[in-house]
Structure 1
């Protein structure tokens, strides 16, 4: 299930370039206003059903400034999806309660409008695009790296001989783990994904500071068009919970390209 949300903030409103922390905090606080238990599940239990969010998208004119996009109207569009209706209900209720209480970078939420998106009937073989950057990382890769953010088309300095194949395998493994959470049984079918963009755009995001050293931790993620094939139940998991990792922070939301529906 997927929601389209138009958020109206105090002006002038800036969509931060480094949006993941602000986006996650905003959504988690909205859920918490309605249901503390659901918010606790989202934040503390990594092996629980989650949600996926798009990045903030400006409504109307936007201008690049030092730390983000200045949105003249104060209105931004956001998409949120999940397989768990209780989570989305808590989010909807929390947004209603959160007027003047929820904020992003000090700017209060004034009001919002919500719509339930139509669910596509078939996903296999369709052309998709990313609504938020896709992040896939590998802990303890070769050559001594502590963590490596994988590109869907490979990188010149990659520690892997065939980075795109590793990326594809990790995407599939991540989807299978989500499938197990949603349906309570392992996925035994096939899956394939083909990136159609020759040179996907990437972006570096600040995630958090290391608890021991205090040094900033960054991640790299990519945007691209693609097709995927598999059983519809698995592809529905990708549609409702996102591709790759860090989905509640605004990574991995996808949609069928509108011109090709």
Structure 2
């Protein structure tokens, strides 16, 4: 199952129209055949949601080491910086799309996340490059916010590296 999400309906329509015209396509070296295309119903965005990550969520800081080189530090959902970085990243997306953030309201916290939900992904590995190591987290989270912000989070994903497939989620129950 491949899920494609966007806040721009025109992009989704264009992708669907082009996929319908093709018998198969490739993701990396993997041949993919289209069996069906479905539009998933959106959850009701009110108050709090318990969400299940369909792809891992990630956030990080780039730190400068004493020798001047850079190091990427990936945050765990159990660190106090994690919800702050996720919220700030979503705020930037909200400002980009709506041009303001005066009605921005959002919070995230781990609901059911354990050590085995941590995923280590090697991204862009090739025969000449070892690739980039990305630490990210699956699991269940509680999110809350205004309906407009929750809808945006659903459409664009949570955390960083959404275009690379990170941060996709589904609602599992509404409180």
For this structure pair, what is the TM-score category when the shorter chain's length is used for normalisation? 0.7 to 0.9
> Who is 1:17 aligned against?
none
> Who is 1:167 aligned against?
82
TM normalised by structure 1 equals 0.58
> Who is 1:226 aligned against?
141
Residues 206-221 of structure 1 aligned to structure 2 (within 5 Å)? 206-208=122-124, 214-221=129-136
Cα deviation for residue 195 of structure 1 reads 0.6
Contact 1:190–1:230 (Cα < 8 Å) also in 2? yes
SS in 2 for 1:171: helix
> Who is 2:22 aligned against?
98
Cα deviation for residue 230 of structure 1 reads 1.6
Contact 1:135–1:252 (Cα < 8 Å) also in 2? yes
TM normalised by structure 2 equals 0.84
Distance of aligned partners of 1:106 and 1:122 in 2 relative to their CA distance in 1, 3 Å threshold: closer
> Who is 2:75 aligned against?
150
Cα deviation for residue 142 of structure 1 reads 7.3
Separation of aligned partners in 1, 2:38 and 2:105: 33
Cα deviation for residue 98 of structure 1 reads 2.7
Cα deviation for residue 216 of structure 1 reads 2.7
Residues 5-84 of structure 1 aligned to structure 2 (within 5 Å)? 77-84=1-8
Cα deviation for residue 118 of structure 1 reads 1.3
Cα deviation for residue 109 of structure 1 reads 3.4
Contact 2:77–2:109 (Cα < 8 Å) also in 1? no
Separation of aligned partners in 2, 1:256 and 1:94: 28
> Who is 1:88 aligned against?
12
Number of residues of Structure 1 aligned to a counterpart in Structure 2: 170
Separation of aligned partners in 1, 2:65 and 2:109: 25
> Who is 1:203 aligned against?
119
Of 110, 113, 137, the match for 2:60:
137
Gaps of 5+ in 1: 1-76, 154-163
Cα deviation for residue 214 of structure 1 reads 4.3
> Who is 1:118 aligned against?
41
Contact 1:99–1:108 (Cα < 8 Å) also in 2? no
